[in-house]
Amino acid sequence: MKKEEYSLVYKAIHGDSHAYGELIHQYNPYFYKIAFLSLYKKSRMYIMSHIRDFLYD
């Protein structure tokens, strides 16, 4: 992490809404990717559990 990012994180933790917004803007693609992968895995697990229940009940 760069020195500027540390500074933004420090400011955001201490209530600077501009710094918080800048961090959100910088890391937005990562947030979407994490959310997508998390939801994708959960939906796959849900589907697989129903297939398993159907096959073994």
Instruction: Please report the pLDDT score of residue 54 as a whole number.
Output: 67
What is the widest separation between alpha-carbon atoms in the chain? 57
pTM, full prediction: 0.56
Question: How many CB atoms are located within 10 Å of the residue 8 CB?
Answer: 20
Model confidence pLDDT, tens digit, residues 12-52: 999 999 999 999 899 988 888 888 888 888 888 777 777 77
